[in-house]
Amino acid sequence: MQQQIESIVLPNGLAIVSERMPDTRAAAFCWLLPGGSVYQQPGKAGTSTILADLLFRGAGQRSGRELLGQLSLLGVQNEESITPAHLVLSGVTQARNLVETLPVYADILRRPHLPEEEFDAARSGLEMTLASNEDDPRQKLTLELRRRTYPAPWGIPADGELADLPAIDMEDVRQLAKSSLQPHQAIFSVASSLAMSDLLPTLEKLLGDWQPGEITAPPLPPTTGGYEHLTHESQQTQIGIAYPAADSTHPDYLKAWAIVSILSGGMSSRLFTEVREKRGLCYSVSANLHSLKGAARVICSASSQNERAQETLDVLLIELQRLKLGIAEEELSRCKALAKSSLVMAQDSTSSRAASIARDWYQLGYVRTLQSLKQQIEDLTVPDLLAYLDRWPLANLQILTVGPQPLVNNMAQ
Amino acid sequence: MQQQIESIVLPNGLAIVSERMPDTRAAAFCWLLPGGSVYQQPGKAGTSTILADLLFRGAGQRSGRELLGQLSLLGVQNEESITPAHLVLSGVTQARNLVETLPVYADILRRPHLPEEEFDAARSGLEMTLASNEDDPRQKLTLELRRRTYPAPWGIPADGELADLPAIDMEDVRQLAKSSLQPHQAIFSVASSLAMSDLLPTLEKLLGDWQPGEITAPPLPPTTGGYEHLTHESQQTQIGIAYPAADSTHPDYLKAWAIVSILSGGMSSRLFTEVREKRGLCYSVSANLHSLKGAARVICSASSQNERAQETLDVLLIELQRLKLGIAEEELSRCKALAKSSLVMAQDSTSSRAASIARDWYQLGYVRTLQSLKQQIEDLTVPDLLAYLDRWPLANLQILTVGPQPLVNNMAQ
């Protein structure tokens, strides 16, 4: 499980992180640019997504069609996404084509045309995506719960807001491009059979003279929680609960992660057993640990028939409270076994590794090896987890339901 | 790219197919049992899913809790699914735990408890899943389009039908278990660092005396197409088009696949360019090749704002008709480049390989190597594709829309 991770920071600030995976012919890469949703102007959520779209509509010497054609000929399967902190350009291709891909991305980042005449098409495309999220109650729950549990602008829907779109104009996009498409706080990661030395000369030539800007992320204050209901005519009620946990930069992070695994990892987990198997309250129930840099939440969600939704919420809340009463050794053993098989699988996937090393670099300033993660998970004990639950009591719960009728938060009484 | 594929058929009919991937520590496996949705009694769609659920509620010496606990301790991340032809039990874990996993699955397949007292919980769980599909117009489009383009029982929703659930009882589940949990036409596939010789002694001991039954899949007659609309109050109209193509057992299969890639592979593809980039008609548009054994369909889908839905349907139909007028060499080159990078990626994933070799064995009776696929794709020419389009003209289109208002099929006029 020995990993070969190399990193370098260019004088202009661009961090380059590479994991060498000698046995694969695939190559995956991620560009993390400081142009995520928190950097948009207030009331203009969607600017980042429109920028990401326009970046591929022509750059350097290439028109939009030529640019996309070139990426296809290089076998690049690209994907763009917006997180609170970053505008992310990722892709996978054959390792043999990777070096040739770099000049195309250097053009996209440094010399995008951002054609004004295509702004309307990009915005109306985004409008359609956001509208179809509105039609899906599960999507709606996820987005609206994050909005409530994280403070603005960290909780706003990263892809954008329907209501904000009319206010966005080309000038907003240009401003965001200017502040975010620069090397300060930008990260480029690669997972492939190539060594850093295979990539660095090309990267230095393409990006060494890229001029840095200055950018600061907005603060991330604490939140307090509460209960809200959104009315939606549907056969099922969607239930979401979010509450604070140790984030990925915190020494307690893996303990938070283990608690969530005990709640929701696999078919022996507590939520699966108590909510689904024993009571048949719902078919889909899960808990995840969602971490920003500096704040994290446990996010539980379930969808239940409307008439059993109240009971589902009650049982979920009881399970969360019951954690501190005790954890069986066997629960922790199962959690460790599942973690180890997940780590073994992550090791085979270039795209999973490219995303992980970039995220680690952003959140931690270094890359956690799978070996060290495995060791830290192996070392966890039940008393560790119970002590964590003392330090991070169940508090500031944000509850959200989406369905025909509101429920009652019986824990608040 | 040399692959090490071994296969053996036990005297009782069970096919065992293994791909050795020496560089990975992960192991993935698939059990394909002839208990898919086409084997259910008419009017009892959902029996297969309920059976798959009950299989994990106790088997051999283990109660349900013990069984699930044991799988977790072995690091197994299991997943069950129903296809028209198969009840599929798949999983991934560490290669070092794979041999120990086999007796657990042998119990599940040969000695399941199928506890009657848990039947109601399994059925009501399924009811909730199906109800939440009803709430999602995109899901609804996919399921209802397949129902219309494939003949019954091949087109019925594989997971089940809400309306059928009350008619299903425990006896139906037992009958299906009897006919499907036996080695005749069953396939077990593994992708891991282990060789067949590492697995075979254990498999023979566990399954060598498993008694075969007899089972025959229902016939798969042709269908004719048409247009239907389902009313759903939503902001977007979902549009689906399906029409026959060469299936995976047909010598023309890769040509059908290449046509679909030209339509929809990557951001330079025709649908992306014409529907999304040039006209901004919708954000999500795609075409896929869906293949059963003996019949396949090109399935196009798009979601569009209601007021632009008619134009979207018109443009989609024109693009499908326009294919036979010509294909540029560059389109084929892009398709080949994307195919090659996909093949390189597939090679790293044990779960992708375990699923592929099992499916190949079922559909073809042998395993296509990635090398031979790559060569066949490399050999495709534009005249090949145009000749294919002559042999497989655009006919018997099934069109389905889901949204507030029906559209008009202008191609039919």
Q: A284 with A237, same domain?
A: yes
Residue A277's pLDDT band, with cuts at 50, 70 and 90, is confident
pLDDT at B413: 57
The total of other beta-carbon atoms located within 10 Å of residue B134's CB is 15
Picking from A101, A283, A312 by the largest number of B CB atoms within 10 A of its own CB, the best residue to mutate is A283
Answer yes or no: is A221 within a domain: no
Please indicate whether, in this complex, the C-beta atoms of A341 and B65 are within 8 angstroms of each other. Answer: no
Answer yes or no: is A353 within a domain: yes
Chain A residues in contact with B331 (beta carbon < 8 A):
none
Please indicate whether, in this complex, the C-beta atoms of B268 and A72 are within 8 angstroms of each other. Answer: yes
Q: B236 with B194, same domain?
A: no
Please indicate whether, in this complex, the C-beta atoms of B73 and A138 are within 8 angstroms of each other. Answer: no
Closest CA to B75 of B93, B91, B90: B93
Answer yes or no: is A301 within a domain: yes
> Domain end: A159, A176, A207, which one?
A207
Please indicate whether, in this complex, the C-beta atoms of B283 and A126 are within 8 angstroms of each other. Answer: yes
Q: Are B263 and B322 in contact (CB under 8 A)?
A: no
pLDDT at B275: 85
Q: B255 with B185, same domain?
A: no
Answer yes or no: is B319 within a domain: yes
Q: A124 with A242, same domain?
A: no
pLDDT at A3: 83
CA distance B345 to B335: 16
Chain B residue with CA closest to A308: the answer is: B128
Chain B residue with CA closest to A126: the answer is: B283
- Residue for token digits 């109660």? B63
**Single-letter code of the amino acid located at B272:** F
Q: Please determine, for the modelled complex, whether the ipTM score is greater than 0.85.
A: yes
What number is the average pLDDT over the span B281-293? 90
pLDDT at A1: 52
What number is the average pLDDT over the span A9-31? 96
Chain B residue with CA closest to A284: the answer is: B129
Residue A132's pLDDT band, with cuts at 50, 70 and 90, is confident
Chain B residue with CA closest to A54: the answer is: B277
Chain A residue with CA closest to B342: the answer is: A93
What number is the average pLDDT over the span A376-384? 97
Q: B186 with B274, same domain?
A: no
CA distance B180 to B197: 27
Please indicate whether, in this complex, the C-beta atoms of A303 and B128 are within 8 angstroms of each other. Answer: yes
Chain B residues in contact with A267 (beta carbon < 8 A):
56, 68, 71-72, 78
Chain B residues in contact with A136 (beta carbon < 8 A):
135-138
pLDDT at A2: 73
Q: A198 with A330, same domain?
A: no
Chain B residue with CA closest to A78: the answer is: B266
Please indicate whether, in this complex, the C-beta atoms of B69 and A330 are within 8 angstroms of each other. Answer: yes
Chain B residue with CA closest to A28: the answer is: B345
Chain B residue with CA closest to A334: the answer is: B73
Least Cα separation, residue A278 to chain B (angstroms): 8
Least Cα separation, residue B99 to chain A (angstroms): 15
Query: Which CA distances in Å does B359 have to A152, B11, B373?
Result: 48, 21, 15
Chain B residues in contact with A131 (beta carbon < 8 A):
235-236, 305
Please indicate whether, in this complex, the C-beta atoms of B337 and A74 are within 8 angstroms of each other. Answer: yes
pLDDT at A223: 85
* pLDDT(A413) > 60: no
Chain A residue with CA closest to B94: the answer is: A341
- The 10s digit of each residue's pLDDT in A226-244 is 999 999 888 889 999 999 9
Burial A76-85 (b: 16+ CB within 10 A, else e): bbbebbbbbb
pLDDT at B1: 52
Helix axes B253-264, B382-391, angle to 10 degrees: 100
* Structural domain count of chain B: 2
Q: B138 with B9, same domain?
A: yes
Please indicate whether, in this complex, the C-beta atoms of B77 and A342 are within 8 angstroms of each other. Answer: yes
Please indicate whether, in this complex, the C-beta atoms of A131 and B266 are within 8 angstroms of each other. Answer: no
Lowest mean pLDDT among A305-309, B160-164, B378-382: A305-309
Residue A402's pLDDT band, with cuts at 50, 70 and 90, is very high
- The 10s digit of each residue's pLDDT in B200-237 is 999 999 999 999 999 999 999 888 899 999 998 888 89
Please indicate whether, in this complex, the C-beta atoms of A267 and B349 are within 8 angstroms of each other. Answer: no
Chain B residue with CA closest to A305: the answer is: B128
Picking from A135, A338, A374 by the largest number of B CB atoms within 10 A of its own CB, the best residue to mutate is A135
Chain A residue with CA closest to B308: the answer is: A128
Residue B328's pLDDT band, with cuts at 50, 70 and 90, is very high
pLDDT at B330: 95
pLDDT at A351: 95
Q: B305 with B339, same domain?
A: yes
Chain B residue with CA closest to A91: the answer is: B341
* pLDDT(A200) > 60: yes
* pLDDT(A367) > 60: yes
Chain A residues in contact with B96 (beta carbon < 8 A):
none
Answer yes or no: is B52 within a domain: yes
Least Cα separation, residue A343 to chain B (angstroms): 9
Please indicate whether, in this complex, the C-beta atoms of A347 and B26 are within 8 angstroms of each other. Answer: yes
Please indicate whether, in this complex, the C-beta atoms of A26 and B341 are within 8 angstroms of each other. Answer: yes
Answer yes or no: is B218 within a domain: no
Chain B residues in contact with A77 (beta carbon < 8 A):
266, 338, 341-342
CA distance A51 to A308: 43
Least Cα separation, residue B25 to chain A (angstroms): 6
Answer yes or no: is A219 within a domain: no
The three-state (H, E, C) secondary structure of chain A, written as one string: CCCEEEEEECCCCCEEEEEECCCCCEEEEEEEECCCHHHCCCCCCCHHHHHHHHHCCEECCEEHHHHHHHHHHCCCEEEEEECCCCEEEEEEEEHHHHHHHHHHHHHHHHCECCCHHHHHHHHHHHHHHHHHHHCCHHHHHHHHHHHHHCCCCCCCCCCCCHHHHHHCCHHHHHHHHHHHCCCCCCEEEEEECCCHHHHHHHHHHHHCCCCCCCCCCCCCCCCCCEEEEEECCCCEEEEEEEEEECCCCCCCHHHHHHHHHHHHCCCCCHHHHHHHHHCCCEEEEEEEEEECCCCEEEEEEEEEEHHHHHHHHHHHHHHHHHHHHCCCHHHHHHHHHHHHHHHHHHCCCHHHHHHHHHHHHHHHCCCCCHHHHHHHHHHCCHHHHHHHHHHCCCCCCEEEEEECCCCCCHHHC
- The 10s digit of each residue's pLDDT in A35-66 is 999 999 999 999 999 999 999 999 999 999 99
- The 10s digit of each residue's pLDDT in A304-355 is 889 999 999 999 999 999 999 999 999 999 999 999 999 988 888 999 999 9
Please indicate whether, in this complex, the C-beta atoms of A135 and B236 are within 8 angstroms of each other. Answer: yes
Please indicate whether, in this complex, the C-beta atoms of A24 and B348 are within 8 angstroms of each other. Answer: yes
pLDDT at A242: 97
Nearest to A132 among B77, B92, B303 (CB): B303
pLDDT at B128: 84
Chain B residues in contact with A302 (beta carbon < 8 A):
none
**Single-letter code of the amino acid located at A187:** I
Per-chain mean pLDDT for chain A: 94
> Residue A260 sits in which domain range?
226-407
* pLDDT(B278) > 90: no
Q: B121 with B68, same domain?
A: yes
> Domain end: A207, A242, A273, which one?
A207
Least Cα separation, residue B384 to chain A (angstroms): 20
Picking from A341, A352, A353 by the largest number of B CB atoms within 10 A of its own CB, the best residue to mutate is A341
Answer yes or no: is A216 within a domain: no
* pLDDT(B280) > 80: no
Chain B residues in contact with A350 (beta carbon < 8 A):
345, 348
Nearest to A280 among B121, B276, B303 (CB): B121
* pLDDT(A91) > 90: yes
The total of other beta-carbon atoms located within 10 Å of residue B65's CB is 15
* Higher per-residue confidence, A111 vs A268: A111
Residue A267's pLDDT band, with cuts at 50, 70 and 90, is confident
* Higher per-residue confidence, A316 vs A223: A316
Read off the CATH number of the domain in which B361 is found: 3.30.830.10
Pairing mode, strands B62-63 and A398-403: unpaired
pLDDT at B69: 93
Q: A119 with A249, same domain?
A: no
How many residue pairs bridge chain A and chain B with CB atoms within 8 Å of each other? 190
Total length of chain B: 413
Residue B284's pLDDT band, with cuts at 50, 70 and 90, is confident
Please indicate whether, in this complex, the C-beta atoms of A132 and B284 are within 8 angstroms of each other. Answer: yes
Q: B76 with B106, same domain?
A: yes
What number is the average pLDDT over the span A126-136? 84
Please indicate whether, in this complex, the C-beta atoms of B337 and A72 are within 8 angstroms of each other. Answer: yes
CA distance B256 to B388: 8
% of residues, chain A, pLDDT over 90:
85
pLDDT at B322: 95
Residue A126's pLDDT band, with cuts at 50, 70 and 90, is very high
Phi-psi label, residue B226: left if phi above 0, alpha if psi -120 to 50, beta otherwise: left
Please indicate whether, in this complex, the C-beta atoms of A305 and B344 are within 8 angstroms of each other. Answer: no
CA distance A175 to A40: 9
Q: A126 with A174, same domain?
A: yes
Chain A residues in contact with B350 (beta carbon < 8 A):
345, 348
* pLDDT(B102) > 90: yes
Per-chain mean pLDDT for chain B: 94
Nearest to B283 among A92, A129, A284 (CB): A129
> Domain end: A180, A207, A234, which one?
A207
